[in-house]
Amino acid sequence: MLKKDFDNCDIQRILNALPFGVLIVDAKGEFLHINSKVYEIWGVDPAKWDKQTVYAEYKGYYKDTGQRILKGDWAVIRAIEKGETSFGEVIDIQTFDGRKATILNSAIPLFTDEGRIDGAVLTISDITEVKQLEIELNIHKRYLSELVEKKTRELKEKNEKLKQEILENERLQKEKRQMDQLHLVGEMAVGFAHEIRNRMTTVKMFLQLLSQTNIHAQEKEQMISTVLLDVEQANAIISEFVMLAHNKKVELRPNNLNKIVRESILKIQTELGINVSRFKFVKEDAIPHICVDENEITQLIMNIIRNGLEAMEDDQVLTIETQFKENEIFLLIKDEGPGIPPSILDKIATPFFTTKDHHIGLGLSKCYSIAERNQATITLDTGANGTTITVTFSNTSTNRHC
C-alpha cells in the first residue's frame, strides 16, 4: 500500500522540480502528493487550497465536443474506480481565479501486488498558448486558403479572358491573312491579265490586218512573224508564272556553292557582255556542300545578280560573298545602288510588280519560290548605300534530303 509518511519531503521536492503538474491520490481519491505546477495551472494559492479530493467540484469541458465533464468522468476518477488508463485528453477548464485554460490530462491507476487498485497518478500540462497558436494558425490557414481560392478564381478568369483574346486575335489574323491573300491574288491576276492582254491585243490587230487582201507578201510575212513572237512571249509569261508553283519537282543533290556562284557569274558575263571588273567574288574555301537543285540555284543567283546590276551605275561593283557560320551557309549579293524605296519594299516579291520598263516582275517572286523549294531563306537589307540580299542554307537540314 501507499503510505502518507513515505519520504514525503523527498517526493515533494522531486515533484515540484517537474515541468508539468502531478497529483497522486489514494483509492478513495484523496490527495497524497500534489506539486506546485498543479496549483499554478488551476490558478489557486496553495495556502488557501481547501480541496483534498478529486471528487470536489471542478469545471471542465472536453475540447473536441465541448461537453461538460461530469464529476465522475474525470480521468483520475476513472482510473481509481475502473482501473482505466487515459493519455492526452485535451480539456478546457475554468480555473479558480476565473481564467480559461486548456490542459493535457493523463491518468494512470496504481495497483497492489494482489492487483487491487490502490490509487492513481494524474499529470496535467498547460497547453493554452499552444492551442491559441493553433487557433491563430487555423485562422491564418483559412485566410490563406480563402486568398488562394480568390486569386485562383481571378487567375482562371484572367486566363479565360486571355484565351478569348487569343482566339479573337487568331481569328482576326486569319481574316487578315485571307484578305492579304485575296489582295495578292488580285494583284497577280491584274498583272497577269495586263501582260497577256498586251500580247493578245497585238495579235488581234495583226490578224485583222492579215484579213485584208491588199497586203504584200513581205508585209504579211513580217506581220505573221510579229504575231508568232507575241504568242511566244505570252507563252513564256505563262511558263514563268507556272514556275512559281511550290510543288515543282526539284532534284536535290550535294553541290558546292562556290562552284555554282562562279559559273553563274560567267553566264551573266557572257549573256550581258559585262566586264569581269564589275564583279567582286569573296569566297570562303572551307565551305560544306549544300543539298540543292543546281539549275534552280543558278537561276536564283542570276536573277539577283541581274537586279543588282540594273540598280547600279556602270562604274559600280557588285560583291558576291559566301560564308559558313554556326552550321549555316550564307550567300550575300551586295549592290552599290540607291537602295529600294520604303514605299515599294513590301511589294518587290509580289508577282508582276515591277518598276522597270519591259519587265513583267516575276524575277524576285521566282527567287523566293526557288528558295523555298530548296529549303533556303531570303532576307533583304537595303539603304542609301545599296542593297544586300542574303540567301541562307541550313547545312544540317538540307543534307538530310540528299
Assigned domain for 2 exists = no
Q: Which residue ranges of the chain lie beneath pLDDT 50? A: 1-5, 352-353, 357-362, 397-398
pLDDT of residue 391: 95
User: Does residue 235 sit in the same domain as residue 257?
Assistant: no
Whether residue 135 lies inside any domain: the answer is no
Look at residue 57 and tell me if it is in a domain. Answer: yes
What CATH number did the domain enclosing 53 receive?
A: 3.30.450.20
- 261 and 189 in a single domain? The answer is no
Any domain includes 320 = yes
**CATH number where 367 lies:** 3.30.565.10
Tell whether 17 and 51 lie within a shared domain. yes
The confidence score (pLDDT) of residue 342 equals 77
Q: Which three cell numbers stand for residue 48?
A: 488557501
Same domain, 273 and 316: yes
The dihedral sign for the CA sequence 245, 251, 253, 256: negative
113 and 197 in a single domain? The answer is: no
Enclosing domain of residue 222: 143-242
pLDDT at 195: 67
Longest dimension (CA), the chain: 160
Q: What pLDDT was estimated at residue 301?
A: 93
Q: What is the CATH number of the domain that holds 234?
A: 1.10.287.130
Among 72, 93, 126, identify where a domain stops: 126
Q: What is the pLDDT of residue 79?
A: 93
**Same domain, yes or no, for 236 and 257?**
no
Segment 242-247 long-range contacts (CB within 8 Å, at least 24 positions apart): 243/366, 243/369, 244/351, 244/362, 244/365, 244/366, 244/369, 245/369, 246/369, 246/372, 246/373
Per-residue confidence (pLDDT) for residue 263, from 0 to 100: 94
CA pair distance 396, 402, nearest whole angstrom = 11
* CB proximity list for 336: less than 8 A, separation 6 or greater: 312, 313, 316, 317, 318, 385, 386
Domain-embedded: residue 167:
yes
Q: What per-residue confidence (pLDDT) applies to 241? A: 62
Residue 259 and residue 379 share a domain: yes
Model pLDDT, residue 120: 94
My answer on whether 316 and 297 are in the same domain is yes
**363/299 same-domain check:** yes
Do 366 and 314 belong to one domain?
yes
Question: Is residue 17 located within the same domain as residue 108?
Answer: yes
- 3-state SS record for the chain: CCCCCCCHHHHHHHHHHCCCEEEEEECCCEEEEECHHHHHHHCCCHHHCCCCECCCCCCEEECCCCCECCHHHCHHHHHHHHCCCEEEEEEEEECCCCCEEEEEEEEEEEECCCCCEEEEEEEEEECHHHHHHHHHHHHHHHHHHHHHHHHHHHHHHHHHHHHHHHHHHHHHHHHHHHHHHHHHHHHHHHHHHHHHHHHHHHHHHHHHHHCCCCCCHHHHHHHHHHHHHHHHHHHHHHHHHHCCCCCCCCCCEEECHHHHHHHHHHHHHHHHCCCHHHEEEECCCCCCCEEECHHHHHHHHHHHHHHHHHCCCCCCCEEEEEEEECCEEEEEEECCCCCCCHHHHCCCCCCCCCCCCCCCCCHHHHHHHHHHHCCEEEEEEEECCEEEEEEEEEHHHHHCCC
Residue at a domain's end among 209, 242, 275: 242
191: exposed, middle or buried (Cβ count in 10 Å: 0-12, 13-18, 19+): buried
Where is the domain boundary, 126, 153, 174? 126
- Kindly report, residue by residue over 71-112, the tens digit of the pLDDT: 888 999 999 999 999 998 888 888 888 888 888 999 999 999
Q: Are 25 and 117 in the same domain?
A: yes
Residue 263 lies in a domain: yes
How far apart are alpha carbons 198 and 153 in whole angstroms?
67
Encode pLDDT of 390-402 as tens digits.
Answer: 999 987 544 555 6
Give me the pLDDT at residue 276, please: 82
Residue 182 lies in a domain: yes
Number of domains within the chain: 3
In a domain, 370, yes or no: yes
Query: Residue 4 has what pLDDT?
Result: 47
